[in-house]
Amino acid sequence: MLRYEDDSEVWFREVIDDQIEEARKRAFSIIENAVKQEDGCFVTNTERPQKIRFHGRTIDAYRFICCVLTGEVASRDRVVRHRCHNRRCVNPDHLRIGSQRDNKHDDWEHWAYGTDPDFL
């Protein structure tokens, strides 16, 4: 089956293949500037998820960090899941790439049982 990539997949593949060192430095800079909380979250000093600009594209900081540090590419079908349920968190240990279904399942478990620290 032929699979077409969306724009973000193409862009991330180019970043990972051609600018990985610069991208990793930028990712770690964002993490270092975040506020470390008792629950392990590294939270940006913004009201909503922080946006960054990198090589001509504006993107959510958490998405950039997850994709750059794992080498995986999130697409329309693959999303970045916050295991801590804090969308301002940029702690790579709290971020996972998965499906929309995985993300919704995480939400249901969080609503029913709260955040499980074993997942973090």
Q: What is the CATH number of the domain that holds 24?
A: 3.90.75
In a domain? residue 60: yes
Residue 26: domain span: 7-119
Domain annotation covers residue 115: yes
Q: How many CB atoms lie within 10 A of CB 55?
A: 12
The token pair that represents 65 in the structure block: 């960090």
Domain annotation covers residue 88: yes
Residue 62 covered by a domain:
yes
Tokens of residue 67, six digits: 């994709």
What pTM was computed for the model? Answer: 0.84
72 is a domain residue: yes
- Predicted confidence at residue 6, as pLDDT, reads 79
- What integer pLDDT is reported at residue 83 of this predicted model? 87
Residue 106 lies in a domain: yes
pLDDT of residue 8: 84
Sites in the chain below the pLDDT cut of 70:
1-5, 108, 110-111, 115-120
69 lies in a domain?
A: yes
Residue carrying the six token digits 């940029």:
90
Number of domains in the chain: 1
State the pLDDT at residue 115: 64
